Amino acid sequence: MVERQLRRRGITDSRVLAAMTRVPRHRFVPPERQWEAYADYPLPIGAGQTISQPYIVALMTAALELTGTEKILEIGTGSGYQTAILAELAREVRTIERITALSLAAQDRLRTWGYANVRFFIGDGTVGLPDEAPFDRIIATGGFPRLPALLLAQLADSGIFVAPVGGRTFQHLLQVRKHGDTFTQADLGGCRFVPLTGKEGW
Ligand code: SAH
């Protein structure tokens, strides 16, 4: 997966590649899909949700430009796979999931492997965690109809926000960087994510 799907498509961040080598992706998918856990596509994880394709996980993680000191907010815990990758690469992770069963399953998985730097929340992640702000990085693994003002307000200065923004079935993966009161934006390409529901979602 790392050689054929990630490196070949231009993922060069060695910390990201190492984290994706370490985290056992097959433990994050349903038992009957384990044989295809490392394939080049997303897979269902229950409750109508999906675990993202490995390349998309790598692309989003690389776009966060992590050095190991960051406090991150993740919206859409899902299986917890992206959460585990973030926990490997940053100081602290807060992750929010709206579906209780998915969050509890992800909590079980991550506790089993001893990630002590992750805290789980159940609820509408599109409003963020104002009490815990600011965050050095914010990542959402579901799509927004537009850039979410409430979340961008919780980004630290020089912080980076990475999320799909656009239509219900097709979005652009955006990397938004905060500089004081202004933001700059880079388009990392087209993508298909499940929509986020909630106040700043659909
Ligand atoms: N990163 C996940 C993929 C999750 S798919 C993984 O690696 O498995 C997107 C997730 O966002 C789904 O689990 C969905 O239930 C959740 N979600 C949708 N709207 C949300 C909201 N408003 N707040 C928090 N989570 C939400």
Q: What is the mean pLDDT of residues 10-35?
A: 97
Q: What is the mean pLDDT of residues 27-36?
A: 96
Coil, strand or helix at 119: strand
What is the 128 CA–ligand 1 centroid distance (Å)? 13
Q: What is the pTM of this model?
A: 0.98
What is the 178 CA–ligand 1 centroid distance (Å)? 24
pLDDT in tens, 170-183: 999 999 999 998 99
In short, whether 196's Cβ falls inside 6 Å of ligand 1 is yes
What is the 158 CA–ligand 1 centroid distance (Å)? 26
Q: Nearest-CA neighbor of 91 among 122, 68, 107, 112?
A: 68
Per-residue pLDDT, 139: 99
Mean pLDDT, the chain, integer = 97
DSSP assignment letter at 70: -
CATH 3.40.50.150 fits 2-191, yes or no: yes
Active site members: 52
Determine the Cα–Cα distance for residues 123 and 179; give it in Å rounded to an integer.
29
In short, whether 53's Cβ falls inside 6 Å of ligand 1 is no
Q: What is the mean pLDDT of residues 15-25?
A: 98
pLDDT in tens, 72-83: 999 999 999 999
